[in-house]
Amino acid sequence: MNRRPHTGGETYWIAGIFAVVLTALSRRYGYHRDELYFLAAGRRLDWGYPDQPPLVPLLARAMSAIDPNSVMLLRVPATAAATVVVLCAGFYARELGGGRVARALAAGAVASAGLLAVGGHMLSTAIVDLAVWSVLVLFVLRLLRTPFEPRWWLAIGVVAGIGVQNKALIVVPLAALACALLLLGPREVFATRYFPIALGLAAVISAPYVIWQARNGWPQWALSRAIAGGSSGSSNTRIEFVLLQLGMIGPLLVPLWMAGLWWLGRQSRYRVFALTYAVLFLIYLIMVGKSYYLGGMYPLLLAAGAVAAEPWLTGHRIRTAAVVSALVASAVFSALMLLPTLPMSALRAPSAVLAINKETAETVGWPQFTAQIADVRAHSAPDAEILTANYGEAAALEHFGAPYGLPTPHSVHNAYWWWGAPDDSRPVLVIGMPVDQVSRFCRDAKPLGRIDNGLGIHNLEQGRALVLCRTPRRPWSEMWLAMRNLG
């Protein structure tokens, strides 16, 4: 067996510091809308949902069982997943033949990347997907060792199945990597009984979610088409997709990952990963995929770049100082602009923070939002049901509404639509929909004002309408099917 040098402590130190920083900042600001949605889904555990598999809602349920009101605890799985990615970067450098400098550079570059700062700060399918793919790439690298080690297929199959239970999109990079291996080799990795066993393991683990989707009409496909059409708040155009590849990791790190792409393309045993990156880039560009869909490839590219740069850096203090300075600058920028290090007042318009990462605004104002809805309801229709335009509004009211006596909200958006329509016998307070839209299903739509978080921070809810509907045009149960909104 081909022996690699042991990974030194530098990878673990960098990953540990990274985890400490994320944990220290995890309590600042508040829940993201998606995290509140995962908590809501976790209260209704199922084998699948129209917009996601069950793994992250299950994680949210587990964390809330320990403490239902701790945002820091909810984010522990995200911190752990992001830390795994940093560790994998150091391990990649080792597998590719890098020494101590390459391992430290790879782990440090990934830890300072903007993508990991944003993803590691909050619980999401994206950060778990990034960790799962990072582990899969590590196992494939070990599969490709000389001599060939076929038993790694078993681990690949298990992790791939878990990956599908987190985010179905992982089948796209898996298929791209498999096709690249078939085209460029080494093809002998498939000539083993462990490969079909791995396929079987992945199929068995992912089967419950696939069956749920089939029984419910494959709503994930409809959702994917809606996202490609720009329905998601994080959707982007094709031009934005290309430009964000340069900024997602950090502008100062672009030369490093580009060097890694070039280096991989020159290695006969590893050029399969360069081809996989190129294929995925084209697939996501054509699909109008979100920019971060390609994010899983960058830890490997950065590690390969670190291996390529190691001879150039060894023994050259000025070059090393320049690279370290770039890493520090990238880390500081990520911490200030992408993590909640600055006072909340930095989010007030005009905000440089929100110009770079608008998702930060979705982690503030939810308690104030809930208080305002409770006040409006108490003064206009104390017995009203609540109907929201999106899952974030509904999940926030469900999480923060108990002290105000708010009923379980309803929404036309994603999984909330599956969870049922308002009661036909009660008035309905409609949140986030303009009056003309409410009038399509209500005979007496009455404006009650607009949402204001009172913080001077503009997020997706700020300024949206509050409307009371006492007389629906038809029973809600009859109109519900036509009101569904996937996106």
In whole angstroms, what is the distance from residue 94 CA to residue 10 CA?
12
Same domain for 103 and 199, yes or no, is yes
**End residue of a domain, out of 293, 322, 338:** 338
Task: Please report whether residue 193 resides in a domain.
Answer: yes
Task: Confirm whether 359 is domain-assigned.
Answer: no
413 within some domain: yes
Kindly tell me the burial class for residue 282, based on how many C-beta atoms sit within 10 Å of its own C-beta (0-12, 13-18, 19 or more): exposed
Q: What does pTM read for this prediction? A: 0.92
Instruction: Count CB-CB contacts under 10 A for residue 230.
Output: 12
Structurally, the chain folds into a number of domains equal to 2
Q: What is residue 1's predicted lDDT score, i.e. its pLDDT?
A: 39
Residue 345 in domain: no
- Residue 262 and residue 278: Cα distance in Å, rounded? 12
What pLDDT does 288 receive? 82
Q: How many CB atoms lie within 10 A of CB 242?
A: 13
Residue 350 DSSP SS3: coil
- Measured CA to CA, the distance from residue 478 to residue 458 in angstroms comes to 35
**400 in the same domain as 323:** no
In order of 36, 106, 220, 423, the CA distances from 393 in angstroms are 9, 40, 21, 19
Q: Are residues 112 and 183 in the same domain?
A: yes
Same domain, residue pair 278 and 421: no
Same domain, 327 and 370: no
Domain span at residue 160 reads: 9-338
Q: Would you tell me how many other CB atoms lie within 10 Å of the CB of residue 343? A: 9
- Same domain for 266 and 375, yes or no, is no
The contacts of residue 196 (CB under 8 Å, 6+ apart) are: none
Identify whether residues 326 and 434 lie together within a single domain. no
My answer on whether 323 and 382 are in the same domain is no
Q: Tell me the pLDDT tens digit for each residue of 327-348.
A: 999 999 999 999 999 999 999 9
Q: Is residue 354 part of a domain?
A: no
pLDDT at 2: 45
Residue 243 placed within a domain: yes
Q: What pLDDT score does 221 carry?
A: 84
The pLDDT value given to residue 21: 96
- What's the rounded Cα separation, in Å, for the pair 219 and 191? 36
List the chain residues with pLDDT less than 70: 1-8, 228-235
Is 388 found in the same domain as 307?
Answer: no
Give residue 234's pLDDT: 61
Assess whether 314 and 373 both reside in one domain: no
453 in a structural domain:
yes
Same domain, yes or no, for 270 and 168? Answer: yes
224 and 373 together in one domain = no
Which pLDDT tens digit goes with each residue over 155-197?
999 999 999 999 999 999 999 999 999 999 899 999 999 999 9
